[in-house]
Structure 1
């Protein structure tokens, strides 16, 4: 998919969970915000391993459930 920046921003709705990840060599850090930029989950470590990814995925699913976010398309 090729979207312009404005088209990407228009896809963000109140159902969107925005996840930012600071990439590092072994331990990454992620945080979660809503469509307005309100912090939903403070920065937390994500280990670069299968277990780390599984934990990260569980935290995403938990945040989606807690904040009423729906699964949808992903873009970056």
Structure 2
């Protein structure tokens, strides 16, 4: 196993709160869990605007405090350009933000028993499941480096 794989695996620990976000044009859906897949709270629907992003961070702060998590990792499936403003915002606030390859999300959808009609509402669940996978063969998320 090379350094890059080890580094990716080490990013998610017991103290990490994983937030999977399903990106859309107007409203995003977020879900939080730990590295074992235990979900925290209900899903959060927030707008693709600055006040929606602040709502997300307030929600995450409450979950962090309640569940004693010191690190947060946000993961999204990049759809169009709608993820970019959220990425810039979270990067400016100092949060880890990773992209999950859409092909891997599509493949993960075929592994589930979720009906296709419900899949659109469940993509955020797949994203955080994908982020917490420890199998190095499938550990293919990318850290986003935003220009300053």
Q: TM-score, normalised to structure 1's length?
A: 0.82
Q: Tell whether 2:9 aligns with 1:9.
A: yes
Q: Tell whether 2:134 aligns with 1:74.
A: no
Deviation for aligned residue 1:4: 3.5
User: Which deviates more from structure 2 when the two are superposed, residues 31-40 or residues 4-13?
Assistant: 4-13
Q: Report the equivalent of 1:54.
A: 54
As a proportion of its length, which structure holds more helix?
2
Q: Distance in 2 between matches of 1:5 and 1:28?
A: 30
Deviation for aligned residue 1:41: 2.5
Q: Larger Cα Rg: Structure 1 or Structure 2?
A: 2
The question of whether the paired residues in 2 share the 8 Å contact of 1:8 and 1:75 is answered with no
Where structure 2 has 5 or more consecutive residues not aligned to the other structure, the ranges are: 73-94, 99-148
CA RMSD across the alignment:
2.0
Q: Report the equivalent of 1:41.
A: 41
Q: TM-score, normalised to structure 2's length?
A: 0.45
